[in-house]
Amino acid sequence: MKEFRVAVVGAGPAGFYAAEHLLYAESLIVHVDMFERLPTPWGLVRAGVAPDHPKIKSVSSQFVEIATHPRYRLFGNVEFGRDVSREDLLSRYDALVYCVGARSERSLGIPGEDLPGSLAASDFVGWYNGHPDMVSLAPDLSGTRAIVVGNGNVALDVARILLLPHDILRRTDIADHALASLATSNIRDVTILGRRGPVQAAFTTVELREIVTMEGLEIALDERQLVVPEFIDPAHARRAQRNLTVLQQALTAASASNCSRRLSFGFLRSPIAISGRGRVERIEVGINRLERDEGQVRSVDTGEREVLPTDLVIRAVGYRGEALPGVAFDERSGIIPNVGGAVAPDAREYVAGWIKRGPSGIIGTNRADAVETAERILGALATTHSSAPSGQSTLDWLGRQCPKMVDHASWLRIDRHETTLGQPANRPRVKLVTIGEMLAAARGPRL
């Protein structure tokens, strides 16, 4: 059978699902080398999924299984564009698959967005999940009020983490610096703002129900905002109806007694400006009405304004892909342009996951997405012969190029180190949060 070598760039869910499909192909023998910027794999499953959602994180057991395949290798702590170039990889592999996700955030484009106290959710999420890039974020949680902009699941994650009791957080794998900071947080009042109405919100119902039924949390909501059934998008009608029901129930069940914290929903509100003397003190919002426009339900500014005092603004309006050095990129949509995962005909470059389709869907969505790409790769490889140098020669080259490369065995040492640290406190793991600590653990005693 013909044998090929494929490089997967990015060790998140899309990368693992693409690797799995290639490794288990029946028609060809494919070797997969996975390049990852961090010493740790699993992408957003490690650095994005909320720490109080261990069930969602348990998808990592699939990645652990895939990584046991004898033709799989991990090359962690190797950054594409810094340590290895597109040309390097094209000369050593029969195909490349970029699975780098969407690393930065969409911007609101309003005055005051960059004031201290205004944070991108992608940074805040990275901070509480121990992403090495965000260790020094140090959000100021000394005020009592926070506003989260956006009506997606990330907004719910962020609001929940701000409001969860310490007793729940301390049993998770939340980064220790975030656990300590949240333990002394004064935030008691969180408002989630959506530019459209409750039936247009992107929240999934399970996540919405989870937050509105949190113990000790008062839910505040203007019931007039819940009467908008004529604008339900048929494609999301079930979710919309369920979300509406959850919010209506929350309103009925609402009782402010014994509540130490409050969550408010402000629908039909767009941020206009963030302001304050040297830091965030308030946000001005424009009040919207909805309009149907070519099948879409759009928010339209009524011209009416409200000013909401706040100590913190977290902007959860979606992630955005970043360009990779030397690789085509569509600035407008924030993705690598592709057809079904192929970047360009005959280019031997492919994409999967958020950098292919944009930041949407749940983790499992990436499986079908990656399978589509992997099928295209297999189809193209089947018509050719490998010109890749041997796996050993690539390993030798990489050893010279990146002496601090973290291979799979080294990652297992980091993993073991973290889970061992977690045991005394009955936590799934205590995350190492700096590259230095990770590399020290990677060199640790052999398993």
Which residues lie near ligand NAP (CB under 6 A)?
A: 56, 106, 108, 149-155, 157, 194-196, 200-202, 204, 207, 270, 316-319, 359-362
CB of 156 to ligand NAP, least distance (A): 7
Name the residue nearer to ligand NAP (CB basis): 118 or 151. 151
Name the residue nearer to ligand NAP (CB basis): 294 or 346. 294
CB of 27 to ligand NAP, least distance (A): 33
CB of 125 to ligand NAP, least distance (A): 8
CB of 153 to ligand NAP, least distance (A): 3
Give residue number: closest CB to ligand NAP. 152
Strands 296-309 and 282-293: antiparallel
- Name 219's bridge partners: 263
Cα(48)–Cα(229) distance, rounded to whole angstroms?
A: 33
Strands 95-98 and 3-9: parallel
CB of 108 to ligand NAP, least distance (A): 5
CB of 36 to ligand NAP, least distance (A): 20
CB of 377 to ligand NAP, least distance (A): 25
Name the residue nearer to ligand NAP (CB basis): 67 or 158. 158
Name the residue nearer to ligand NAP (CB basis): 93 or 203. 203
Q: How many CB atoms lie within 10 A of CB 166?
A: 13
Name the residue nearer to ligand NAP (CB basis): 15 or 76. 15
Cα(391)–Cα(175) distance, rounded to whole angstroms?
A: 36
Distance between first and last Cα of the chain: 35
CA 174 to chain centre: 15
- Containing 302, the helix (H) or strand (E) segment is strand 296-309
Cα(149)–Cα(52) distance, rounded to whole angstroms?
A: 21
Name the residue nearer to ligand NAP (CB basis): 229 or 364. 364
| 232-266 CB burial, b ≥16 within 10 A, e <16 | beeeeeebbebbbebbeebbeeeeeeebebbbbbb
Name the residue nearer to ligand NAP (CB basis): 240 or 343. 240
Cα(94)–Cα(388) distance, rounded to whole angstroms?
A: 6
